[in-house]
Amino acid sequence: MKYILDGKAMKDADRYTIEETGMPSLVLMERAALKTLEVMEQEELDLSNVLIVCGSGNNGGDGFAVARLLLQRGKTVTVVLAGNPDHCTEETKTQRKIFENCGGITMREIPKGDYTAIVDALFGIGLSREVSGHYAQILKKLNSMSGKKVAVDIPSGVSAASGEILGTAFRADMTVTFAYQKAGMVLYPGASFAGKVFVADIGIYLNEQVCGQRYVTYEKEDIERFRPKRKPDSNKGTYGKILMITGSSGMSGASYLSAKAAYRTGAGLVQIFTSEANRIILQSTLPEAIVSVYTDETDAALLLKEKLEWADIICLGCGIGTSETARKITDTVFGYLSEQPKNCVVDADGLNLIASMEEEKKERYLRGAGKCLIFTPHVKELSRLLSKTVEETKKNRISLAQQYSENYNIVLAAKDARTVVTGKGLFPYLNMSGNAAMAKAGSGDVLAGIITGLLALGMDRYEAASLGVCIHGFAGDAARETYGEHGVMAEDIIEMAASLSGEVNWKGTKQR
């Protein structure tokens, strides 16, 4: 498990380390420079003729320190101070002086030439507004030059908080970032400007009461660490009775994928409640599942009540469509959960149907059932839940998801290239696994199934959603390795997720 910070939280960690623990700022800067150089050497960059562009803030100070270290190693270094020399921080002034005392020369304009490597030390986490004018010109020029591009701490022009490009940004091949990853180099589009990211420990640590935004993220090894172990004396009932209210006529695939994903994640018993049209196909493709059906003539809502009583955990929505029957089903489920809370994952049209309910009823349902719900909306579904435009939702996805969770106590997995999981009073989980090969029909059904399966293993809602998103992404990464960028199918993610979960390793042999 790791933390990811925005610029404000990182500044607070700097401040805490310097002011409260007494670690001198220049010591941190020296370590930052040494680590940057170490990574450049490790990555076998040609350092024979390096251009370093420094700003007047402490990011520029890091740049001067790297320049001096290169100089001391006998390399040719061209240093340009792009910021106003009078506005330099004390640390940057000191670093400039040391660099010049070692024989370095500080230029004010970028001299023409072919550089083997270009180091961006213009702005770091102190970037506070759009990059324009002289600075924008410099970044554009650097981007157009050949030579490997290295960003110090964060590519200049990328917002450390949101990953937005503030005007223009440095397009790095690699970024050496200090202490913690910044959200801006994880979230898009910033992530695609950062290149390969190296996190360097320079001795800055978080104060528990840190201000700003702090995210949690899981790495691959966390899957084994956090996923509950199976009890030796367990039976199928130990892992919950899952009711999956999924599929509709012509949409058996959503039922199949979500139920199979729940089983492969570890669920003991899965019952699918779906349209009569899906009975035969589901019984033949997934004989492990109990299949209960409604027909056009039966009252689906009435049948459903009995199933809801039976269930410990519910998953609603994958492939149910927005028919009148689906509407009645959704109404029944939310009505039931408001009275009798049972953990429930709501996905796809289940979300669209709750979003389209009449306000008073929706509010009553969300307030009544909020504490047992996990919603898994993509941006469009989230925009419907929030009654906002897709653009607005996309731009403020994380803060809107947080507000929604705070308001209703619902756990939200707000899906995107970087899915975020929010829960009331909790640090948001920011997911780093996954790739574009997963942008395929059925991938969301698989995620809903995995999260439901983790609930069945006894995880709480926020943990199940976070670990589920993490497993889903890593499984997608493994599937891409096997089937390539374009060839991944949703079902491959299920198989890979099962292997990831520790039952078998990548080659399919037993680990334990």
Ligand X SMILES: NC(=O)C1=CN([C@@H]2O[C@H](COP(=O)(O)OP(=O)(O)OC[C@H]3O[C@@H](n4cnc5c(N)ncnc54)[C@H](O)[C@@H]3O)[C@@H](O)[C@H]2O)[C@@H](O)CC1
Q: Which residues bind ligand X (CB under 6 A)?
A: 14, 18, 25, 28-29, 32, 55-62, 87, 89, 123-131, 135, 152-153, 178
Determine if 271 is a binding residue for K ion (CB under 5 A).
no
Question: Which DSSP category does 3 fall into?
Answer: E
Nearer to ligand X, 87 or 141 (CB): 87
Residue 58 CB, shortest distance to K ion, in Å, is 11
Q: Looking at beta carbons only, is 121 or 244 nearer to K ion?
A: 121
Q: Least distance (Å) from ligand X to the CB of residue 5?
A: 11
If contact means CB under 5 to 8 A according to the sort of partner, which of ligand X, K ion, none does residue 120 touch?
A: K ion
The answer to whether 127 is a known ligand-binding residue is yes
Closest CA to 360 of 352, 368, 349: 368
CA dihedral over 492, 496, 498, 503, signed as positive or negative: positive
Q: Between residue 354 and residue 393, which ones bind K ion under the rule CB under 5 A?
A: none
- Please tell me whether 62 is known to bind a ligand: yes
Strand 76-81 to strand 106-107: parallel, antiparallel, or no bridges (unpaired)? parallel
Q: Which of residues 142-181 bind K ion (CB under 5 A)?
A: 151-152, 156
The dihedral through the CA atoms of 485, 489, 495, 498 has a sign that is positive
> Which of the choices ligand X, K ion, none does residue 156 contact, using the CB cut-off of 5 to 8 A by kind?
K ion
In terms of CB distance, is 203 or 487 closer to ligand X? 203
Compute the distance between CA of residue 163 and CA of residue 266 in angstroms, rounded to an integer.
36
Cα separation, 474 vs 499, whole angstroms: 11
The answer for 499, left when phi > 0, alpha when psi is -120 to 50, beta otherwise, is alpha
415 is known to lie in a ligand binding site:
yes
Q: Scan residues 107-126 and list those touching K ion (CB under 5 A).
A: 120
The phi-psi region of residue 313 (left if phi > 0; otherwise alpha if psi is between -120 and 50; otherwise beta) is: beta
Q: How far is the CB of 136 from ligand X (least distance, A)?
A: 9
Contact yes or no for 124/153 (Cβ under 8 A): yes
3 in a known ligand binding site:
no
191 Cα distance to chain centroid: 11
Q: Is 46 annotated to bind ligand?
A: no
**Rounded CA gap, 199 and 193, in Å?**
16
Whether residue 241 is annotated as binding a ligand: the answer is no
- Footprint of K ion on residues 440-499 (CB under 5 A)? none
The item of ligand X, K ion, none sharing an interface with residue 337, based on CB under 5 to 8 Å by kind, is none
Q: By the 8 A CB rule, do 40 and 242 touch?
A: no
Q: Are 390 and 360 a contacting pair, CB within 8 Å? A: no
Q: Which residues are annotated as a binding site for AMP?
A: 415-419, 444
Q: Which residues are annotated as a binding site?
A: 58-62, 120, 124-130, 135, 153, 156, 254, 319, 378, 415-419, 444-445
Q: Which residues are annotated as a binding site for K(+)?
A: 59, 120, 156
